Structure 1
């Protein structure tokens, strides 16, 4: 058997086993090994109900809803460097009130919180319209008052459990409005021309005559997790996954299987950026009271496309101050297509971006105040950490970094460099390869010492100038031979007058 046949046979076997595993998830409550489902303990869970978790893109912040005596509030916990979750704290007012507030989801950068506000009903349903969608944004060390989405999104029916995608342009939520398939359905709205479009039902592949709730769109923008009591399952309400095809159509949902699902209630789920860790809410036998939040390890059949959290700051390299609202373009190196355009934070110049692994990207910035910036990053290795830091340092026009200084020796007759000088230039080239900014260019400055003479017509002046230009040309020629697509700028030589 040829190697290609063996590979084909192995691939077919893998696909068959995966198909068998997926079929098993619908019908068999035998736990799949390796899920490692664990109660998150006293730091997160209490004798009250904890549910609807939300995880920041970097995986270090967990926000969830706790129901205390019928009043829903948001709680927040931070994970330390030892991967230990700190004791959850009430997020305070705002966003919490003495009314039910639930179903919060953090934006990718953690600066926006989307959630459900339930107030007294009003005739138009825009404000105080039952349960509506709202959002708050960070104001230094606190959150803003809730901002309502308005009548395009909110109605007199229930709207809740929002989830914004990683590109901040598609909002998924739950509603029992007219036009659905029955019960609670999952809907979506896109942000176009600076406004939210009329919501669209996700259709019969996702929604049933019963209830579909708790949508979570993974940062890969192609994998949707949700809860349903209308699809085949193991218990009261189960958790499912659906994948979007290249035409934007959601595929047939797949039950996540045991032990993620059980004969009990599983009502909400989130999955980390890399797709290896998940969190869900359930009322298992080992819960501390009612619904608790559990962590688990995912397995291949239910994993999304692995994604990393790219983050950093945009700063002025010379003054070391943040550059606010700077446009940052993310492109695919392979076909040069623009993936998305973001802006640095208006408060501190930070940025956060979700990027799928297995590709090479170009980060670029263009501004009238700074030189163009380009940076290539390759996300090809699975060992890359979930948080990938890239600092963007913008240079003002004319700002030059000194990478290397060397005294070069020339033969006065041949105008050629000696062997030691060539090695010094090789050292410059090596430092260039290690330089962090792909947009930088090499500027060669030569310093000559000579007697300037009485005026520019002095023969000695012309002789020294010609010699210096010859040296510059020789250095530049060697750079051209060794640069490997390196950009070499020409610069007039600098002179020190004796």
Structure 2
């Protein structure tokens, strides 16, 4: 009997544990015992977080700011005084932290507002938060706006606009989005269509991919109160929202946040009678697209002085720009997140035309998960003798035809030639390994060399006088003729008994054709022919030993050489 009781206990414990698989309550430095801690919002790298806590002198919720300093260790939360000083005028909940962790967007009813509750923001400068500023019209209106959520690139602001709002609650809300016009101003917002907005949708939270949106709704079919729903932006609108049933309960669900990694979700829930911040694994079906989090610095290649530059990312499939950002004018630093759909063209260009750009192509299918990159981009001055490898000029597999993603890079090179008319361009195309065969034994053997061989029988009666010049095989080669030779005129000079044979050699050296493709592209774009010289090197100039699989990838390249005279 004791064994049965023990077995029953083990089964019940196992089931209870599995019900919470993937969930973890944040440490006590965040979840202060016997206090409510809720509404988390994290930076893209997951190392900075803001949240609300009743651990305050008044016992009312105040906004806290903390940084992660270990796998499960956070700094002692600090008060965000520029927000908390007006606590009685703030809408409780929905504060949002920007991707770089330096800007907080929140909801308040203070000062010279636009209407009722407005969206405001404060920025971290050094160790201090700047005085809060109203984001202004047309985002804020004569009504109530709140619960802002800023996209990772800082270009889109999602928020709720409500008919009624008090310090603790809101009703009759809809979700809206506004696109940034410039550094200070925003465009007129638009309301998300049905089936996202049905009558009372609140607390939007945009994912790092800038396409996946979570929001709270009291629509029919939920578990009670406000429930979480997820929708994804498509070319023709938004997908039908799906209930996030693994998070929803009979209580109100309102606040969520994700990091750039996109595999975990932060939210608040009841734990031992108090609101606690919890992190949970996100089921794969609810994850957004893979993203690249870039923490970068742009400097002069020689002096290492910071440069003013702009960053752009294009979707190679749609040809649309999905990111535009600028470096900090003083430090040359930038921090951004961009999604990788299929193929993305990433580039950094200095505002000073004297510098050559830096670029890279990201392939989503080669990324197993979202990645974070810390990188210093050293831009080179454009001058006589400058040689660079262009990673963004690519050809379709086993072809001399340009890949569609190459268009962005070719435009940048065109601009460089236009901005520097005193310089010319040498283009050298290299491949990793050239091989050939008498048959097409590989799909890479797309090129064919045809040799025409003429011979006659040295022992024939009509050619007895030539019998001393045989090669021992019974045949004497008259001439090996390339396929481009005028065979008609040649045939007239070949003795009657001569026999014609065709010899085919299949090979993969397309570097000359690829170089010609690039030349023709620039000529069609109006570049004078005397400014460009091309050459196909085959595999004659490897950068690394061809026996190294990774090295072979580097050997397959397009080199650009800028010179004053060709």
Compute the TM-score of the two structures, normalised by the length of structure 1. 0.68
**What do the CA deviations read for 1:215-268 (whole angstroms, capped 9, x no partner)?**
101121211101122342223322110112212x2222111113x122233221
Q: Is 1:485 aligned to residue 558 of structure 2?
A: yes
2:314 counterpart (317, 328, 331)? 331
How many residues are aligned here? 384
Q: Contact 1:35/1:298 (CA < 8 Å) preserved in 2?
A: no
How far residue 91 of structure 1 moved from its aligned partner, in angstroms, is 3.5
Q: Distance in 2 between matches of 1:173 and 1:323?
A: 35
Q: Distance in 1 between matches of 2:121 and 2:244?
A: 30
Distance 1:492 1:51, change over 3 A: same
2:127 counterpart (126, 130, 141)? 141
**What do the CA deviations read for 1:442-470 (whole angstroms, capped 9, x no partner)?**
999xxxxxxxxxxxxxxxxxxxxxxxxxx
SS at match of 1:176: strand
Q: Distance in 2 between matches of 1:263 and 1:329?
A: 44
Q: Is 1:50 aligned to residue 34 of structure 2?
A: no
Q: Distance in 2 between matches of 1:333 and 1:205?
A: 30
Q: Contact 2:312/2:348 (CA < 8 Å) preserved in 1?
A: yes
Q: Is 1:368 aligned to residue 355 of structure 2?
A: no
SS at match of 1:94: helix
Q: Contact 1:73/1:97 (CA < 8 Å) preserved in 2?
A: no
How far residue 171 of structure 1 moved from its aligned partner, in angstroms, is 1.3
Distance 1:134 1:189, change over 3 A: same
1:387 counterpart (343, 363, 372)? 372
1:356 counterpart (328, 339, 345)? 339
Q: Contact 2:356/2:382 (CA < 8 Å) preserved in 1?
A: no
Q: Contact 1:235/1:265 (CA < 8 Å) preserved in 2?
A: yes
SS at match of 1:145: coil
How far residue 342 of structure 1 moved from its aligned partner, in angstroms, is 1.2
How far residue 311 of structure 1 moved from its aligned partner, in angstroms, is 1.8
Q: Name the structure 2 match of 1:187.
A: 176
Q: Is 1:114 aligned to residue 101 of structure 2?
A: no
Consecutive unaligned residues in structure 2, runs of 5 or more:
1-15, 165-169, 389-411, 417-424, 429-534, 543-556
Q: Is 1:265 aligned to residue 252 of structure 2?
A: yes
Q: Distance in 2 between matches of 1:387 and 1:136?
A: 26
Q: Distance in 2 between matches of 1:477 and 1:323?
A: 35
Q: Contact 1:99/1:119 (CA < 8 Å) preserved in 2?
A: no
SS at match of 2:234: coil
Q: Distance in 2 between matches of 1:228 and 1:337?
A: 32
Q: Contact 1:310/1:389 (CA < 8 Å) preserved in 2?
A: yes
Q: Is 1:203 aligned to residue 193 of structure 2?
A: yes
Q: Contact 1:312/1:350 (CA < 8 Å) preserved in 2?
A: yes
Distance 1:477 1:202, change over 3 A: closer
Distance 1:336 1:132, change over 3 A: closer
Q: Contact 1:50/1:292 (CA < 8 Å) preserved in 2?
A: yes
Compute the TM-score of the two structures, normalised by the length of structure 2. 0.60
1:59 counterpart (46, 55, 59)? 46
Q: In terms of mean alpha carbon deviation, does 185-194 or 298-307 score higher?
A: 185-194
SS at match of 2:51: strand
**What do the CA deviations read for 1:320-376 (whole angstroms, capped 9, x no partner)?**
22224x222223456765333210023422112222235343313143353212221
Matches within 5 A, 1:152-171: 152-171=138-157
More strand by share: 2
SS at match of 1:391: strand
2:82 counterpart (94, 117, 125)? 94
Q: Contact 1:265/1:283 (CA < 8 Å) preserved in 2?
A: no
Distance 1:156 1:382, change over 3 A: same
Distance 1:208 1:485, change over 3 A: closer
SS at match of 1:262: coil
Q: Distance in 2 between matches of 1:442 and 1:63?
A: 53
Q: Name the structure 2 match of 1:212.
A: 201
Q: Is 1:237 aligned to residue 226 of structure 2?
A: yes
Q: Contact 1:155/1:177 (CA < 8 Å) preserved in 2?
A: no
Consecutive unaligned residues in structure 1, runs of 5 or more:
1-29, 404-437, 445-475, 494-498
How far residue 278 of structure 1 moved from its aligned partner, in angstroms, is 0.4
1:36 counterpart (17, 22, 37)? 22
How far residue 299 of structure 1 moved from its aligned partner, in angstroms, is 0.6
Distance 1:400 1:177, change over 3 A: farther
Distance 1:235 1:478, change over 3 A: closer
Q: Distance in 2 between matches of 1:264 and 1:315?
A: 52
Bigger Rg, which one: 2
SS at match of 1:314: strand
Q: Contact 2:159/2:176 (CA < 8 Å) preserved in 1?
A: yes
SS at match of 1:183: strand
**What do the CA deviations read for 1:102-134 (whole angstroms, capped 9, x no partner)?**
5321222333221112337x7xx42xx542111
Q: Contact 2:29/2:77 (CA < 8 Å) preserved in 1?
A: no
Q: Contact 1:34/1:297 (CA < 8 Å) preserved in 2?
A: no
Distance 1:332 1:399, change over 3 A: farther
Q: Is 1:342 aligned to residue 342 of structure 2?
A: no
Task: Indicate the RMSD between aligned Cα atoms, in angstroms.
Answer: 3.6
Q: Name the structure 2 match of 1:320.
A: 304
Q: Contact 2:322/2:338 (CA < 8 Å) preserved in 1?
A: no
How far residue 307 of structure 1 moved from its aligned partner, in angstroms, is 1.6
Q: Name the structure 1 match of 2:446.
A: none
Q: Distance in 2 between matches of 1:311 and 1:302?
A: 26
Distance 1:294 1:480, change over 3 A: closer
Distance 1:200 1:379, change over 3 A: same
